[in-house]
Amino acid sequence: MIILSLNNLTKSFGGLVAVAGVSFEVERGDVMGLIGPNGAGKTTVFNLITGASRPDDGHIFFDGRRLERLKPHRIVHLGLARTFQTIRLFPRLSVLENVLSGAHCRMKSSIISSLLRLPAQRREEKAALGRAMAELRFVGLDGLWRAEAGSLSYGDQRRLEIARALASEPKLIVLDEPAGGMNERETLELRDLVARIRAKDITVILIEHDMSFVMEVCNKIVVMENGAVIARGSPDSVRRDQRVVEAYLGADED
Amino acid sequence: MTGRFPLPGPGRIAWAALAILFFCLPLMGLPPNRVGLLNHIGLYAVLALSLNVILGQAGMFHMGHAAFFAVGAYATAILNTVCGWSILATLPVAGAAAGLFAALVAAPIIHLRGDYLLLVTIGIVEIVRIFLINDPFGLTGGANGLINIARPVILGFKITRPPHFFYLIWGFAAVSMLLFHWLENSRFGRALNFIREDTVAAEGVGVDTARYKLMAFVIGAVWAGFAGTLYASYMRTISPGSFSFWESVVLFMIVILGGSGNQKGVLAGAFLVVGLPEVFRFLKDSRLMFFGAALVLMMIFRPQGLFPPRRRTYAPPPEAS
């Protein structure tokens, strides 16, 4: 079953065409890697999917809904969560509160019930705390729930971003360079984490430069260059693709 | 929020004792003019607490809070003097009118950031003041304002003297603090903090930032409207001069100096900014100079305010402890 499909997506900034007619599909249960040289347009594609910017042309279908005119929070509400390439936690708030920010869109208490602390609001608050703690345990940060998010190590901050995204109960999670800045041990743990996210029946798309990581965790890969898709398929087929090799290593001029 | 019945720590007991002592002041023979000053501080405190939701919690630079205060005060004054409503009956209408007004004027400007929002909100307060001076439909009495506003009657008891108002105003302030404390410790309060910390990230993790910013304005304005009702029936006379840009600046100062986001800080700010210039009245005109110097020193040595914002506390989940 196709959960996400991009149809001829185009986006330019001024005269620069960042994404030129990109189309691909993601099936439910996939772990899809989006790779390509710097400036290929990968993050722009992510920003279009998550509503951070609007495409000039083309369509995005997610779970039977069109996304390209929706605000980011609506897209999260539909079940598509993201992490940011440059970490964007709330650094002065606690680890627990950062995860609660993801749970926010699944909570229903109104302003009035919050102002008067009605019983239903208190029940919901308690349930949300439990859920947030469960997500922290899932990524292995439950011992740090009181800490200030900005005080965590780089790798822990990346995992906290993932916990925050998971707290919004997504069907699909979009990870922008999750292994960026991680050491070898942390990357190994991340590989395990992605596998466990997949086991929860959550589809994953990720951008990553660490090729061995991508080849290990992804069952499908899309390669972009200069704003266009140049190859797609299984890790093995992509590895052997002549155009991919040229894009990464440079074409032989003769 | 440490359990339903937390054991009070020494800090809590000290604050409670201070509060009880404060509420006994009018009974202990405090002169009426001093009680009057406390009433004034109380009105500013209610206004600053409501501004704190917008400025302290959501981090939106709003310097036009006197506009919402004016809408509430005039709603009460008009309904009372023209339509003959009792003061208490005008309270919800004053709040609703200010909230509705806030929703209308804030909706188109809510996306503005920092200093841009500041400029527009200054504009709003001036527009309201000039509108009131122009006496639209002969309702606002122009520059002279409205007179002979009635006193509030609660359960058959007519509130007239300063000590009566002391309990009305400070009782209202206490209830406001409790409700705002609850609001702060809810998904609404957290959402405002996410917006203050990083609006783009907040939107990206599923917070409807435009809606919550607007809601912060509306809640703050409703409370400013309530304060307008108290003010109108306390002064019995209101005029556009009472809702000037300067009043907005004073409220802004109270929140920033006290510690934006911290209700105790806002309360302390109200005492400091409104109370101190009165206490030093014997210094005549030079008192404002001392006041200004105090502000400058404050911003140099304690820019986060008297009481910096506190972290929320959460009951440790059983599995984690």
Two tokens, residue B284: 């005549």
Two tokens, residue B296: 């400058």
Tell me what ipTM this predicted complex has: 0.93
Spatial contact of B251 and B66, defined as CB atoms under 8 Å apart:
yes
Burial class (CB in 10 A: 0-12, 13-18, 19+), A27: middle
pLDDT of res. B8: 74
Q: Which residue of B has its CA nearest to A144?
A: B320
B318: helix, strand or coil: coil
pLDDT of res. B2: 44
B186 vs chain A: nearest CA distance in angstroms?
6
Q: In this structure, is residue B6 part of a structural domain?
A: no
CATH superfamily of A2-79+170-249: P-loop containing nucleotide triphosphate hydrolases (3.40.50.300)
Q: What is the DSSP string of A78-101?
A: HTEEE--SS----TTSBHHHHHHH
Contacts of B228 (CB under 8 A, 6+ apart): B68, B69, B70, B71, B72, B73, B74, B75, B76, B94, B98
> Cβ contacts (< 8 Å) between A133 and chain B: which residues?
317, 319-320
pLDDT of res. A104: 96
B252 is in which domain, residue-wise? Answer: 32-301
Interstrand relation of A80-82 and A172-176 (parallel, antiparallel or unpaired): parallel
- Each residue of B196-234: pLDDT tens digit? 999 999 999 999 999 999 999 999 999 999 999 999 999
Burial class (CB in 10 A: 0-12, 13-18, 19+), B148: exposed
Q: Which residue of A has its CA nearest to B202?
A: A101
- Local confidence band at B321 (pLDDT 50, 70, 90 cut-offs): very low
- Each residue of B294-309: pLDDT tens digit? 778 888 888 888 888 8
Two tokens, residue A143: 């011992």
> Cβ contacts (< 8 Å) between B197 and chain A: which residues?
90-93
Q: Which residue of A has its CA nearest to B206?
A: A73
Q: In this structure, is residue B130 part of a structural domain?
A: yes
- Compute the count of residue pairs across chains A and B with CB atoms less than 8 Å apart: 111
When pLDDT is averaged across residues A73-95 and rounded to a whole number, the result is 95
Interstrand relation of A16-27 and A2-13 (parallel, antiparallel or unpaired): antiparallel
Tell which residue, B75, B73, B94, has the closest CA to residue B83: B75
Tell how far CA A109 is from the center of its chain.
27
When pLDDT is averaged across residues A146-171 and rounded to a whole number, the result is 95
pLDDT of res. B319: 55
Domain ranges of chain A: 2-79+170-249
> How far is the C-alpha of B128 from the C-alpha of B310, rounded, in Å?
35
Q: For residue B199, give the CATH number of its domain.
A: 1.10.3470
Spatial contact of B252 and B63, defined as CB atoms under 8 Å apart:
yes
Interface test with A, best of B1, B184, B187, B222 (most A CBs within 10 A): B187
- Each residue of A55-73: pLDDT tens digit? 999 999 999 899 999 999 9
> How far is the C-alpha of B232 from the C-alpha of B227, rounded, in Å?
9
- Each residue of A185-227: pLDDT tens digit? 999 999 999 999 999 999 999 999 888 899 999 999 999 999 9
B240 vs chain A: nearest CA distance in angstroms?
32
Record: contact A133-B182, CB cut-off 8 A: no
A40 vs chain B: nearest CA distance in angstroms?
23
Q: How many domains is chain B built from?
A: 1
Q: In this structure, is residue B22 part of a structural domain?
A: no
Mean pLDDT of chain A: 93
